[in-house]
Structure 1
């Protein structure tokens, strides 16, 4: 099945929505189409009380594990807790490979670290584990865990080439982008300082096609092995990161301009969702800055686009970058330091425009496949210099595919200072436009790298000052989303955390708000092999825990030791020792399920360049 050139060209038409206003629109429940998930909210009839969860109950936590699996967990987690081992893990892995040979080394890794943290190498090998966990009420999130085995020098060179355009490399246009959104060689190896997230580097369009097809296999495997499947993707695997940098720079400048005008109107310091500008005053500011004529501005700021309140907020402002208004053609903002108007998007070469088109097409293919097989698709968060673009592209997928149920989940990193504002803005936008809000809340994986980069490059540190501050933001965001779930049965959240206090906070707030686990609005996510003492007791409480499985292929051995699953101290190693003598081995019944559908043969080699990708980008934004 080949890609069609119209896949993203019609995004705008499909995503057209009612005019935005400052008042939330009434929530309507659309009629469920064939195959749609039933809308589940708090039941009218009384339901049995949910039993209390006990994370100290070792028999409950490990009753699904065979004796040899407990022994492996004890060994692996104890090794991962050794500071001496962690300090020399790469050298030890290299030495072990050299002494044992590649084949024996791979066998040893599968029996230990890979067996503990990796689901399998292909669709057939992961099926037994998924079904085994499912028998105990634990679902799965399939995550493609392969990284390129590049040296730091190769990674830096690849990153510098893929994060700047041909015009920028010639010395034209670099200064037009903020320092935060430019490539810096000292931070070219994005793996440095990152231990809990996989990293992709752009090699070629063919490699991006390969990543897309692997994501498709993960989606198919999730749909074929579980009725409540999740799959995770990273947008840096699907295209040239240059576009994410440029788009992030554009969105950041656009939002900054809004706050600049708000300060001029004496409304600085208000919460993002509460900041409202007077349209008449804004029109005068735009005319004085020379962005457009008064006649053009009157066409932009109409009752059709902004309602009749006479004010606009940040959501209204961001919606102006859309095909419904002529403003998207101008895409210029004043530089606050020089006072000059600058384009928001740098110029692309023809080849770069084709590459951007392909990236958008790959996203469309994955979302359609997830919708087809009924798998929820989680778009992982990445570095802050990519994240504004990733969040906006995810938002556009949500507008299109989250009509009847939350299919696309955006990821919010709560270690960021602006995390709470981002959450409430997306929730408010979902209310106004009538689509289903879906979110995954994480603390974050790039703290050390982000802080070092901000200090070296010279921009404000985007990270909260302390772990306690991050936990406070996490709970604040989570509480806001849970309040939304109470009033909106079509919203859902993934609580991705290994923190017992956070899980207990979630369970307590669910009980206070009347959110029953059977409604399947709240999910809990942990890494495979890391927190059985949290995941399985939650399943016994009828909650929906999901284990994130690095699936389909093992991570290269050179990188295995640097993953947080291996570096992180075990949550409760003593529980394994106390459980091992008492737990009887569990022997599953033989299972013969249908084989998964044949591997998708999607190709994006043929496409048309009849219209500019930049116009297409504006059409569906």
Structure 2
């Protein structure tokens, strides 16, 4: 196993350190320490999660009543205990890491995600040598000559009984160890409950003609959140995009995540709905990575994040042109990003009336972007926090923190407001 371990370590940049990312950290409480919170919920009971589901249902109803094709956003940390999401994320990441270890063994370290193809015979041999599965067992798993990451991930779905003992090699020691400590009956019940809650919300959204956006959260929750969202998309996005996944483009893995999920939607024939954001947890993510000793998951500069955003967006826009089975919300306050989107839509022949591309900004921000887009016929939405004031004020504060770079350039918006006030004074239409 030594050759595999050394190659994998080169590929993964220190798997031992990365595993620390998916461990609960009491110092942060994994409750947004160092961040103005939108409330990550660590509840001792499930009753609070059910209450949040009821709030989301009311939000869906409110969105339906105010718009023919509205959106409603949900947070999975309000529907499942985040400790469970951290543990589930750890399982998924370890499972993917094993794939990359075997890819390194086959000389494919460093390749693009969808270009990494394991030869089935070598894979079956490796699994047998590691004691994970006999050749007879693995022959039932794979039918083709090669296996990519999507094939590999399909072996581990949310309906699998998670307490099934599965041994994988520790990337540092080479010793076989459980993929995850055995789940208790209560933890397995938590999985069933969160699936039931999102099912209730998705059905209500479909009935009301509302599209449901699943918010992205911290990176140590995100593998579980994305996996559960994809499960919803598989079920509800067959004829139209009802469920939208959110991708944070400040993450180094954003493009791999977008392209992987897009390819899965192609293979399985469902509509790919996505919201692209830059991201809201940068300071906390970096502080947590430094304190716990794993690689910073955030792009090193704002410019790199912009490049990642435009790269992901361009990939989705090209898919819209090819298949018409993709839709995207460009959730951005960045004028350059909006201009980039409009230019690429024109070049690719995507018309506003196609309603495949929409824009979103926070209520009260960037009206100089929102209103011209709406007047030009583009679908554009204002993101409105819904709930008790004490709950939504922290959210608004975090949005301001996220956009503080934009706020530093607020002189332009202030000048536009003064010009409009002067125009109305001169024309006698101050209150029109």
Superposed pair shares fold, TM > 0.5: yes
The whole-number CA distance in structure 2 between the counterparts of 1:386 and 1:204 is 19
Indicate the residue corresponding to 2:11 in structure 1. Answer: none
Aligned to 1:34: none
Contact preservation (8 Å) 2:96, 2:153? yes
Is the Cα–Cα contact under 8 Å of residues 322 and 328 in structure 1 kept in the other structure?
Answer: no
Listed as ranges, the matches of 1:517-536 within 5 Å are 517-536=352-371
- Are residues 1:219 and 2:63 paired? no
**Partner Cα separation in structure 1 for residue 419 and residue 315 of structure 2:** 39
What is the 5 A alignment of 1:406-421? 406-421=241-256
Q: Distance in 1 between matches of 2:191 and 2:125?
A: 35
Q: Deviations over 1:442-466 (max 9, x none)?
A: 0000111101111110111111000
Partner in structure 1 of residue 349 of structure 2? 514
Is 312-321 or 401-410 further displaced after alignment? Answer: 312-321
Structure 1 residue 502 and structure 2 residue 343: aligned?
no
**Helix, strand or coil at the partner of 1:202:** coil
For residue 238 of structure 1, what is the aligned residue in structure 2? 79
For the Cα contact (< 8 Å) 1:262–1:277, is it kept in 2? Answer: yes
Q: Does 1:550 align with 2:380?
A: no
Residue of structure 2 equivalent to 1:253: 94
Q: Which residue of 2 aligns with 1:337?
A: 172
| Residue-by-residue CA offset, 1:206-234 (whole Å, 9 max, x unaligned) | 11111000000000111122101000000
Task: Report the TM-score when normalising by structure 2.
Answer: 0.89
Which residue, 157, 181, 199 being the options, matches 1:364? 199
1:414, 1:443 within 8 Å by CA — same for their partners in 2? yes
Give the structure 2 partner of residue 374 of structure 1. Answer: 209
Specify the alignment match of 2:29 in structure 1.
188
The aligned residue for residue 453 of structure 1 is 288
* Pair 1:446–1:284, CA change in 2 (3 A): same
Q: What does 1:421-436 correspond to in 2, within 5 Å? A: 421-436=256-271
1:284 aligned residue (125, 128, 133): 125
Aligned with 2:314 (options 463, 479, 483): 479
Give the one of 272, 275, 279 matched to 1:440: 275
> 1:562 maps to which residue?
397
Decide which of 205, 210, 229 is 2:51's aligned counterpart.
Answer: 210
Larger Rg: 1
CA distance change for structure 1 residues 189 and 337 in 2, over 3 Å: closer, same or farther? closer
Equivalent position to 1:468, from 299, 303, 326 = 303
Task: Give the C-alpha shift of residue 557 in structure 1.
Answer: 8.6
1:375-408 alpha-carbon deviations (Å, 9 max, x no partner): 1000000011000000000000000000000110
Alignment CA distance shift 1:262-1:509 (3 Å): same
Distance (Å, rounded) in 1 between the aligned partners of 2:416 and 2:33:
33
The number of aligned residues is: 406
SS at 2:73 equivalent:
strand
- Structure 1: gaps spanning 5 or more residues: 1-174, 303-307, 588-621
Question: Is 1:353 the counterpart of 2:188 in the alignment?
Answer: yes
3-state SS of the aligned residue for 2:35?
coil
How far did 1:561 drift?
A: 7.5
Distance 1:555 1:563 in 2: 13
- Alpha-carbon shift at residue 506 of structure 1 (Å): 0.2
Greater helix percent: which structure?
Answer: 2
Unaligned regions of 5+ residues in structure 2, if any?
Answer: 1-15
The 8 Å contact of residues 527 and 565 in structure 1, kept in 2 or not, is answered as no
Contact 2:38 2:394 in 1 (8 A): no
Give the direction of change, closer, same or farther, for the CA distance of 1:560–1:311 in structure 2 (3 Å limit): closer
Matched-pair contact (CA < 8 Å) for 2:41–2:81: no
TM-aligned CA deviation for residue 340 of structure 1:
2.3
Which one is further off, 278-287 or 182-191?
Answer: 182-191
Find the residue that maps to 1:431 and give its secondary structure: helix
RMSD between aligned residues: 2.4
More displaced 10-residue stretch of structure 1: 416-425 or 332-341: 332-341
Residues 376 and 407, structure 1, Cα contact 8 Å, conserved in 2: yes
Q: Where do 1:311-322 residues align within 5 Å?
A: 311-322=146-157
| The 10-residue stretch of structure 1 (487-496 or 181-190) with the greater mean CA deviation from structure 2 | 181-190
Tell whether the 8 Å contact from 1:196 to 1:565 is kept in structure 2 after alignment: no
TM-score by length of 1: 0.62
1:384 paired with 2:219, answer yes
Displacement of 1:497 in angstroms is 0.4
Residue by residue, what CA displacement relative to the aligned partner does 1:69-89 show, whole Å, maximum 9, x if unpaired?
xxxxxxxxxxxxxxxxxxxxx
Q: Distance in 1 between matches of 2:431 and 2:141?
A: 66
- Distance across 2 between alignment mates of 1:357 and 1:282: 32
Q: Distance in 1 between matches of 2:159 and 2:394?
A: 47
CA distances 1:391-426 after superposition (whole Å, capped 9, x unpaired): 000000000000000110000000011100111111
> Structure 1 residue 345: deviation in Å?
3.3
1:188-212 Cα offsets, whole Å, 9 max, x none, are 1633333484543425311111100
> Alignment partner for residue 105 of structure 2, among 243, 257, 264?
264
Are 1:420 and 1:476, in contact at CA under 8 Å, matched by a contact in 2? yes
Q: For residues 56-101 of structure 1, what are the alpha-carbon distances to aligned partners after superposition, in whole Å with 9 as ceiling and x for unaligned?
A: xxxxxxxxxxxxxxxxxxxxxxxxxxxxxxxxxxxxxxxxxxxxxx
**Aligned counterparts of 2:176 and 2:318: Cα–Cα separation in 1:** 42
1:462 aligned counterpart, secondary structure: coil
The whole-number CA distance in structure 1 between the counterparts of 2:260 and 2:431 is: 47
Distance 1:326 1:582, change over 3 A: closer
